[in-house]
Amino acid sequence: MAAGDVSISVEGGIARLVLTNPERRNAISSAMWRALSAFAAEAVGRSDIRVALLRGEGTLAFSGGADISDFSAARSDASGAQSYDELVESACAAIEAIPFPVVALVHGACVGAGAALAASCDLRIAADNGFFAIPAARLGLGYDPRGVARLVRAYGAQTVRQLFYGAERLDARRAFELGALDHMAAPDEVDALADRVVSRIAENAPLTLRAAKLSIRAATGAGGQAAAEARRLTILANGSADYREGRLAFAEKRAPRFTGA
């Protein structure tokens, strides 16, 4: 039976999500996909979260992919495979649509569905000994086109060609060179780097962050609804108390204190 959990904590405006299935290199079970979707649905109404950091437990793997112990029951034929793809796609789409920035922290292996989940995040930070892989062609597995499109948006078409066609590892250094990673550091330094990144984001104006995220999503193919909501939030931000606070803090040469109002 598939195991695993998603540990979630919130402090100081930062939500920390940890994929917890270390016996299977943090492989993502059906229950874990559902937990990610549930967090994303709840996040829409959370005013206490300004940024989320998503990682795997420990330093061996962000995730080794979908938990294959699920497959004998949930993905044993074409119909089951389609249902399982919907579960994964729903979770990835939900994480992608979270209204505040989401940052993936990658230690070690980021494989298959794990790479898809990392692609659902806005920013990716990796240890320089990490790697990405999509082994679908070694498994004879059909990959959901929606997931392929997400990978292309996040990593770029040429990188995705390399991941799929060769079914080989793409190390973090090469991924960084190709623009698939935003930041990279040594394994013993990358956690502190990720903390600095999310802490800096959490200090900024929430309405501006949400409007910017929706504008970027609209510009990269999320559709007209994202564009309309981005316009609404932009207008809201321009009339907000946070905008007044930002101007005042700039004039007084101090750090602004944003409330999201």
* Cα–Cα distance measured from residue 13 to residue 50, given in angstroms and rounded to the nearest whole number: 5
Which residues of the chain have a pLDDT value below 70?
A: 1-3, 70-81, 222-224
The pLDDT value recorded for residue 223 is 61
* Cα–Cα distance measured from residue 105 to residue 126, given in angstroms and rounded to the nearest whole number: 6
According to DSSP, the residues that pair with 171 across neighbouring strands are: 131
CA angle 66, 111, 92 (to 5 degrees): 60
Contacts 24+ apart (CB under 8 A), 31-35: 31/2, 31/4, 31/5, 32/4, 32/5, 32/6, 32/67, 33/87, 33/88, 33/90, 33/91, 34/87, 34/91, 35/5, 35/6, 35/8
Q: What angle do the packed helices 224-238 and 206-219 form, to 10 degrees?
A: 150
The pLDDT value recorded for residue 12 is 94
The pLDDT value recorded for residue 260 is 86
The pLDDT value recorded for residue 224 is 65
The pLDDT value recorded for residue 1 is 41
According to DSSP, the residues that pair with 50 across neighbouring strands are: none
pTM of the model: 0.92
* Cα–Cα distance measured from residue 130 to residue 117, given in angstroms and rounded to the nearest whole number: 15
Neighbours of 247 (CB within 10 A): 11
SS3 at position 222: coil
- Each residue's pLDDT tens digit, 86-123: 999 999 999 999 999 999 999 999 999 999 999 999 99
SS3 at position 110: strand
Whether 121 and 180 have beta carbons less than 8 Å apart is answered as no
Neighbours of 190 (CB within 10 A): 24
